Amino acid sequence: MEIAIGVGKVLVGKIIKALINRVKKINANLSEEFKIRGRDMRICCPDSIQTYSVSFESKGVPFFTKKRKFKFGKVRRVSLRSVQALQTISKAIDIVEDGFEINLKFLQPGELYILDIEYLIDDPNFIDSLVYRKVTRDIPKEKKKEYWMTAQLKHLDVLKQDFGFIELRDLDLNVNVGVHQDISLKIPGAFKKQLETVSKLLKPIGRGMTFELYSRLLHQQKSKFGGKEYEILRNLQDLFVPYEFKRYLDVKYDFTYSNCFRGTEYYDLLPFPTWPKFMNIISRTDLNFDKPAANGLLIFKRKDFIVDIAKIFE
């Protein structure tokens, strides 16, 4: 039996080392003018962003320079806050091509500040090399619509640094919840037949056939769905709007609901993406050194969904 042990650790270690080196350079630069009080580093998923926060205060003497330059790579976002005033001092930060600069004239000696810096982690495989994510692709019984999800760190020791632990935030997991069976089996047969007649009438057909189809449609129009075809279809479509569909979802244990949208798998796009066979549900979780694995459950409240489909046809 071929077992892969600790695969990807070299890659992850290399990337984290590069992230830490950058942080060390920031600290060394800051230390020339300030006393560093606290540090924290997070990796924000799914965009793979390194967020470094450092709190510092001036050494109580006038600053040596007017500007401190931190040219250690392109930044995504930088913000500086005064802890006392709880205000962001946007004037103090200049983003430049290969980093950022702090304009010291906007800082007061003796005051405590927090600097938050965001860098994009270039390697697209970084998160997948660090965390194993898995959800169930299908469920055994239609009546029990519970989808399990798990995110488990592959490498734990790499998160331990001299300033503390690197955290992983908002790690996303996607579950495909099947809805096709509920829609197709719950639509009343009379409505299906009515739609088929309407559809045939929209196509070029012979005169005799048109008469027959109109007669059939006139007969069908006497049913309670008569003349309401488009309204019913609109109402059905509304069920798949994220705001509506989330009512049928319950995310449990270590995960929280984030968003949902119409499925994007190959079997969902054909023939038309307008009517989803699956809804794609995104749930999120955080992982860190003390919580290396997150396990959860996504429950699709199918009975509620079915009841709401039935209400459309009442």
Residues at the site binding other proteins, with contacts judged by CB under 8 A:
1, 3-7, 124, 132, 134, 136-143, 148, 150, 152-157, 160, 176, 178, 180-181, 183-187, 192, 195-196, 198-199, 202-204, 209, 212, 215-216, 229-230, 233, 236, 265-267, 270-275, 277, 289, 292-293, 295, 302-303, 306, 310
Cα torsion through 57, 61, 64, 65, rounded to 10: 50
Q: How far is the CB of 179 from other proteins (least distance, A)?
A: 9
Q: How far is the CB of 172 from other proteins (least distance, A)?
A: 12
What DSSP character marks residue 90? G
Does residue 135 sit in helix, strand or coil? strand
Q: How far is the CB of 276 from other proteins (least distance, A)?
A: 9
For residue 125, what are the β-bridge partners? none
Q: Which residues contact 105 (CB under 8 A, 6 or more apart)?
A: 66
Locus of tokens 């694995």: 293
Q: How far is the CB of 274 from other proteins (least distance, A)?
A: 5
Nearer to other proteins, 82 or 150 (CB): 150
Q: How far is the CB of 114 from other proteins (least distance, A)?
A: 29
With beta carbons less than 8 A apart as the criterion, state whether 80 and 115 touch.
yes
With beta carbons less than 8 A apart as the criterion, state whether 263 and 244 touch.
no
Locus of tokens 């055994």: 140
Nearer to other proteins, 112 or 187 (CB): 187
Distance CA 283, CA 257 (A): 5
Nearer to other proteins, 11 or 198 (CB): 198
Nearer to other proteins, 6 or 60 (CB): 6
Nearer to other proteins, 222 or 274 (CB): 274
Nearer to other proteins, 57 or 229 (CB): 229
Nearer to other proteins, 233 or 299 (CB): 233
Q: How far is the CB of 15 from other proteins (least distance, A)?
A: 14
Distance CA 305, CA 312 (A): 11
With beta carbons less than 8 A apart as the criterion, state whether 255 and 285 touch.
yes
Q: How far is the CB of 275 from other proteins (least distance, A)?
A: 4
Distance CA 132, CA 135 (A): 10
Q: How far is the CB of 111 from other proteins (least distance, A)?
A: 38
Edge-first strand listing for the sheet containing 293-300: 131-135, 146-153, 293-300, 249-253
Nearer to other proteins, 69 or 186 (CB): 186
Residues shown for the chain: 314
Distances (CA, A) of 92 to 95, 101, 105, 115: 10, 8, 8, 11
